Structure 1
């Protein structure tokens, strides 16, 4: 409970920081940064079972939690902002409905990947590591999109 509460307090200033950085750095680059941080988190969580001491495991957990707090709000707000730039304004409701459906899909995909990891490896932590795959796939898909504001600059 304490970690989740701390994430919220940590996430607030970092979300503001992402917003301020977005004034100088293209949103796509900041989304890539956040995706990179999330991939790092998946790797950190993946090594937790191999760490020897309880103290090392706790430290890795706290580092992962801190990193989540630094990027959670930023990636959410920037991805929505970037998405709104890509869709036709007159159909925003439809497109954001579609966006939300995919968000719901990810709440199913995560547990499936964790379940597959438990089935294959007997460790749920490896399922968290498998979450790097959809993050990297998302980054690749984003690299294929033409962003209007980037063409104007």
Structure 2
């Protein structure tokens, strides 16, 4: 995705086919997810191929999806719109997960094996993705490109050349780069907490699968309200300040897990706290970054944003595993994750977001270096 997404982003900004590319990659990703129904023991490798392909397509479709935010919402509306989008995402994910868990719970009564029930649930995720995407496609308008494709250049060539140009141009946006670095670090902390919470609950607290599943559901539904709350908070305090508050809460969550979490009740409390800040930190990060993008380069820059989210997602779990390996303590391992929130928070506080927004506004599309 590090090479794939920026090139697609550049192509989308030079063409009127952003909506078509969103449709294409979402359809391919959803279809690959549905096809996981056919993964059985003799063709176990097919699951890996389909998962990687679906993940690539999801990353690409999210780039085009995020790039619509500056088009459909003014700077004053973006916190609210972005927060509502994340809130609906968590609500939808929670509802589907609830249906899947109920279906799996009663698979015997339905005369279905557990393996078949899992495969049906996997396919249902693809159908859910495709179905709600169609709802969006019917109402989302196509966008005219801000930049014209040079007559002697194809889309692939312009994608490669514009990627080089984008990387060179980043030196003109130092505050935006600093924000991306902050996001890369603190979001890695967010993804790590999500990834290792179930491991911590099962191995450190001895919780069963049923309890863990219930907590995951709690996180999904609380995140719906959390995203809406932080959208409201940003309107009252400012986006950056609300985002700083969310990172402070994330740090408190890690400290709580390290020193005060010992039973199932505490794990539910942890789930509620995670849900409150999860949607908020993600929604506000997106809306704040959307204001730091030069006009006409939305997909291009959101591809870099997506890479910041996915490119180092292995680092947090690696640090967690490393600390656990050397100390033999899951509590010390989860405490180590606070480093990502503290460093990300410091970088965010030091980022002059007003200057980053001004840098984007001062950037002029013409003269286009590729056209020249």
2:285 to 79, 97, 104: 79
CA spacing shift, 1:149–1:107, aligned 2, 3 Å: same
Are 2:228 and 1:16 equivalent residues in the alignment? yes
Aligned to 1:88: 294
Contact 2:234 2:241 in 1 (8 A): no
Q: How does 1:32-43 map to 2 (within 5 A)?
A: 32-43=244-255
Q: How does 1:77-116 map to 2 (within 5 A)?
A: 77-116=283-322
Question: In structure 1, the residue corresponding to 2:235 is in which secondary structure?
Answer: coil
Question: In structure 2, the residue corresponding to 1:90 is in which secondary structure?
Answer: coil
Are 2:316 and 1:144 equivalent residues in the alignment? no
Aligned to 2:113: none
Q: How does 1:19-58 map to 2 (within 5 A)?
A: 19-47=231-259, 56-58=262-264
Deviations 1:31-69 (A, max 9, x none): 111101110111111125xx7xxxx43333222211101
Q: Which moved more, 1:119-128 or 1:16-25?
A: 119-128
Which of the pair is proportionally richer in helix?
A: 1
Number of residue pairs the alignment of both structures matches: 146
Aligned structure 1 segments of 4 or more residues deviating by more than 3 angstroms: 149-152
Q: 1:106 offset after TM fit, Å?
A: 4.1
Are 2:63 and 1:63 equivalent residues in the alignment? no
Q: 1:150 offset after TM fit, Å?
A: 10
Radius of gyration: which is bigger?
Answer: 2
Contact 1:27 1:78 in 2 (8 A): yes
TM-score between both structures, scaled by the size of structure 2:
0.37
CA spacing shift, 1:140–1:9, aligned 2, 3 Å: same
In the aligned structure 1, how far is the partner of 2:356 from the partner of 2:305? 22
In the aligned structure 1, how far is the partner of 2:234 from the partner of 2:355? 12
Contact 2:244 2:349 in 1 (8 A): no
TM-score between both structures, scaled by the size of structure 1:
0.85
In the aligned structure 1, how far is the partner of 2:223 from the partner of 2:326? 34
CA spacing shift, 1:81–1:149, aligned 2, 3 Å: farther
Q: What stretches of structure 2 of length at least 5 have no aligned partner?
A: 1-212, 359-372
Q: How does 1:129-140 map to 2 (within 5 A)?
A: 129-140=335-346
Q: 1:142 offset after TM fit, Å?
A: 1.1
Q: 1:118 offset after TM fit, Å?
A: 0.9
In the aligned structure 2, how far is the partner of 1:32 from the partner of 1:65? 20
Aligned to 1:117: 323
